[in-house]
A and B are shown apart, each in its own frame.
Chain A
Amino acid sequence: MNDHELVIQARGLSKRFGQLTAVDRLDLGVRRAEVFGFLGPNGSGKSTTIRMLCGLLLPSAGEIEVLGCRIPRDAEALKRRIGYMTQRFSLYEDLSVLENLEFLATVQGLGKAAARQRIAELLERYWLADRRQQMAGTLSGGQKQRLALAGAVLHKPDLLLLDEPTSAVDPQSRREFWDSLFELADAGTTLLVSTHYMDEAERCTRLGILDAGRLVADGSPRELLDALPGHPLLIDCAQPRQAQRALQGSTAVLAMAQIGASLRVLVASADARERIEDALRAAGIAARIEDTQPNLEDVFVSVTRQPVPAAP
């Protein structure tokens, strides 16, 4: 198998719900063993796209090929080769950890002996061995995520789709969870993960940024940073809110966000620094301006032109 083989290929993918266009002519290519991150604000079409890719939703227009299967035509055949982890915990809360995995193993068609071995292996790998008799509903957020992941990879899928898998867990659990994801990628599994956390986006090998149903940026985090149209400035002053008001509407400014006591401003042109100094002086605000390193949030803000939720 070629390492650069495209596992997911979508062309002109659209989904309309009545008047609303959730996904708008999306082109997407994901290569084997990539950890592809889907970044975008809430309602940008991440979940809808993922659901179309695994055959849960019927596209309004466009073509999809996943693992060589044409969707929706070969959706049934595809289902044996993909794992899907939903945004919401979707295992049974009133079944124990072991019962949930046994149920899924049966549904996925694993033989009795193979299932027992695989379940033991996964319980060990995801630190759930001592929880096997516990009801899934009483697990902590991080444990639930690990159980859901175990359930999604039980049948060793070639492609794993994860829809905001870490939205309900603490930072420590998120880090552990991502380690597990890289372990899977190393073993050759392709992963498509949607998130709205910047620190998670930075970990992906490739990123697609969605905004209002359209793919507005696509590349590795490095490529996206290099292609950033402007550069960020950090304005240190006593009244960041007044400073923000003073700069509102200035053509030199692409985007602004208050970070603690300072104001982070994304600017496009070379003379922007002088123009901002002028504007602040005119408003009677004393400020210290310095250059700072661009990050993915700047990328995100510049391509979507709207504030992102702060990373925890």
Chain B
Amino acid sequence: MNLRRLAAIVVKELRQLRRDRLTFAMIVGIPLLQLVLFGYAINMDVRGIDAAVLDQAGSARSREVVEEIGSSQVLELRYRLSTPQQLDSLLRQGKISAALVLPADFEARLERQDRPPLQLVVDGSDQSVQASARQLAAYPLPGWENRQAVEVVNLYNPQRLAPLNTVPGLIGVILTMTMVLFTAIALVRERERGNLEMLITTPLSPWELTLGKVLPFVGIGLLQVTVVLLVGRLLFEVPIRGSLLELYGASLLFIVASLALGVFLSTLAQTQFQAMQMAFFTFLPQILLSGFMFPFAGMPKAAQWIAELLPLTHFLRLARGIMLRSAGLLELWPEMLALLVFTVLMLSVAVMRVTKRLD
């Protein structure tokens, strides 16, 4: 081992690294991103869960209790409802994740102390909300110090089965990983191996090339959805409570959105390795911020805004809504619209960047 030769290599590598701006940015960017995400955005102590109140008692006492629970900031009481039907509908659309119900015999229950006077209806398709519900269940009502005053009703996932929460999200995560990475790499490979130089002197148009390479992945994506659904059903008994057709429709749109992102990345990368780096760069925020891994409601506003820009966030809501809450695409239209806008934007930028020349 010659130390001077070794040092020469180290110096050379550092020089090359400094000139490879992408790798340099990733070296700095990933730890920074992780630090910010884990240290700041990801807050397991969930506050501000979107919620509604159904106060059927309407007494001074009940209003007082609602006021007090609202001030704890665990629930963000956005809606005051008058019928249980409204509550159902808001939950299914995903506009709220929890609802506080004060039954008509609230006062009587308080007196008799036989049944819990408060009911918390929780969207069980989101595991983070379940956790916060337990926190609220310990809410001490005056005179009920020794007994649980809040009855938690876990809608959609009464047994709190983890796969029920994980599988819908997993579809999205797997699609993101494969669709973005494979398209970006497949497209850049042509350039890196020199095939592109030959292809552009043929009548082949760049969009024929791009679409031709991307289309097979639509089929692959739908196949992946099928596999995850089947395995989820067979191993974990994950139900599909909504329409299977609509679930595939949402998946298809998400696949196209991810492919568009992949095509866009391929126009930025020069080598397959760069394409891979870029793809991973987009995975990180998607997996961490979309609500797959950590509760969406627990993130600060800024992180939530970023999450709204990511396709996985919207697909996650679609998948959980359709599979667990039997919501329809019509009710979830804002998520579909978001995916559509993302796709159109990505493709437009990519179209502007794909040229049929080398320079």
* Interface of chain A, main secondary structure: loop
Query: Across the interface, do A90 and B197 meet the contact criterion of CB distance under 8 Å?
Result: yes
Query: Across the interface, do A58 and B201 meet the contact criterion of CB distance under 8 Å?
Result: no
B4 interfacial contact with A, CB 8 Å: no
Cβ proximity bits A33-51 to B, threshold 8 Å, 1 near / 0 not: 0000000000000000001
Residues of A within 8 A of B357 (CB): 55-58
Chain A residue nearest to B202 (CB atoms) is A107
The answer for the CA separation of A82 and B198 in the assembled complex, in Å, is 11
Query: Across the interface, do B358 and A86 meet the contact criterion of CB distance under 8 Å?
Result: no
Minimal beta-carbon separation of B205 from chain A (angstroms):
9
Q: A56-B357, A56-B358 known; A84 and B198 CB under 8 Å?
A: yes
B338 interfacial contact with A, CB 8 Å: no
Cβ proximity bits B209-237 to A, threshold 8 Å, 1 near / 0 not: 00000000000000000000000000000
Chain A residue nearest to B196 (CB atoms) is A90
B359 interfacial contact with A, CB 8 Å: yes
Sort chain B's interface into a size bin: 10 to 19
* Interface of chain B, main secondary structure: loop
Query: Across the interface, do A56 and B203 meet the contact criterion of CB distance under 8 Å?
Result: no
Q: A56-B357, A58-B357, A58-B359 known; A109 and B197 CB under 8 Å?
A: no
Candidate in B197, B198, B199 with the most chain A CB atoms within 10 angstroms: B198
The answer for the CA separation of A91 and B202 in the assembled complex, in Å, is 13
Query: Across the interface, do A79 and B359 meet the contact criterion of CB distance under 8 Å?
Result: no
Chain B residue nearest to A78 (CB atoms) is B201
Query: Across the interface, do A91 and B198 meet the contact criterion of CB distance under 8 Å?
Result: yes
B200 interfacial contact with A, CB 8 Å: yes
The answer for the CA separation of A91 and B200 in the assembled complex, in Å, is 12
A74 interfacial contact with B, CB 8 Å: no
Minimal beta-carbon separation of B250 from chain A (angstroms):
35
A123 interfacial contact with B, CB 8 Å: no
Chain A residue nearest to B205 (CB atoms) is A76
Cβ proximity bits B188-200 to A, threshold 8 Å, 1 near / 0 not: 0000011101111
Residues of B within 8 A of A79 (CB): 201-203
Q: A84-B201, A108-B202, A108-B203 known; A90 and B358 CB under 8 Å?
A: no
Minimal beta-carbon separation of B358 from chain A (angstroms):
5
A80 interfacial contact with B, CB 8 Å: yes
Query: Across the interface, do A88 and B194 meet the contact criterion of CB distance under 8 Å?
Result: yes
Quick one: which of B193, B194, B198, B203 contacts A76, CB cutoff 8 A?
B203
A135 interfacial contact with B, CB 8 Å: no
Query: Across the interface, do B201 and A82 meet the contact criterion of CB distance under 8 Å?
Result: yes
B352 interfacial contact with A, CB 8 Å: no
Query: Across the interface, do B198 and A109 meet the contact criterion of CB distance under 8 Å?
Result: no
B302 interfacial contact with A, CB 8 Å: no
Within 8 A of B (CB), among A67-90: 76, 79-80, 82-84, 86, 88-90
Cβ proximity bits B321-359 to A, threshold 8 Å, 1 near / 0 not: 000000000000000000000000000000000000111
Query: Across the interface, do A56 and B197 meet the contact criterion of CB distance under 8 Å?
Result: yes
Residues of A within 8 A of B201 (CB): 54-56, 79, 82-84
Chain A residue nearest to B201 (CB atoms) is A84
Residues of B within 8 A of A296 (CB): none
Minimal beta-carbon separation of B165 from chain A (angstroms):
41
A301 interfacial contact with B, CB 8 Å: no
Query: Across the interface, do B359 and A57 meet the contact criterion of CB distance under 8 Å?
Result: yes
Minimal beta-carbon separation of B4 from chain A (angstroms):
31
Quick one: which of B197, B202, B204, B359 contacts A86, CB cutoff 8 A?
B197
The answer for the CA separation of A151 and B359 in the assembled complex, in Å, is 24
Query: Across the interface, do A92 and B195 meet the contact criterion of CB distance under 8 Å?
Result: yes
Query: Across the interface, do B199 and A107 meet the contact criterion of CB distance under 8 Å?
Result: yes
A104 interfacial contact with B, CB 8 Å: yes
Minimal beta-carbon separation of A146 from chain B (angstroms):
15
The answer for the CA separation of A93 and B202 in the assembled complex, in Å, is 19
Query: Across the interface, do A107 and B204 meet the contact criterion of CB distance under 8 Å?
Result: yes
The answer for the CA separation of A108 and B203 in the assembled complex, in Å, is 6
Chain A residue nearest to B198 (CB atoms) is A90
Residues of B within 8 A of A88 (CB): 194, 197
Residues of B within 8 A of A90 (CB): 193-195, 197-198
Minimal beta-carbon separation of A87 from chain B (angstroms):
8
Quick one: which of A57, A84, A92, A109 contacts B203, CB cutoff 8 A?
A109
Quick one: which of B194, B200, B202, B358 contacts A89, CB cutoff 8 A?
B194
The answer for the CA separation of A217 and B357 in the assembled complex, in Å, is 30
Chain B residue nearest to A163 (CB atoms) is B197
Residues of A within 8 A of B199 (CB): 107
The answer for the CA separation of A54 and B197 in the assembled complex, in Å, is 11
Minimal beta-carbon separation of A115 from chain B (angstroms):
14
Residues of B within 8 A of A92 (CB): 195
Query: Across the interface, do A51 and B358 meet the contact criterion of CB distance under 8 Å?
Result: yes
Residues of A within 8 A of B204 (CB): 107
What are 14 A-B contacts defined by CB distance under 8 Å? A51-B358, A54-B201, A57-B359, A79-B201, A79-B202, A80-B203, A88-B194, A89-B194, A90-B193, A90-B197, A91-B195, A107-B204, A108-B202, A151-B198
The 9 closest A-B pairs by CB, nearest first: A90-B198, A84-B201, A88-B194, A90-B194, A107-B202, A56-B358, A107-B204, A86-B197, A57-B359
20 new A-B contacts at CB < 8 Å, known A79-B202, A82-B201, A86-B194: A54-B201, A55-B357, A56-B197, A56-B200, A56-B201, A56-B357, A57-B357, A57-B358, A57-B359, A58-B359, A76-B203, A79-B203, A83-B201, A84-B198, A91-B195, A104-B202, A107-B199, A107-B202, A109-B203, A151-B198
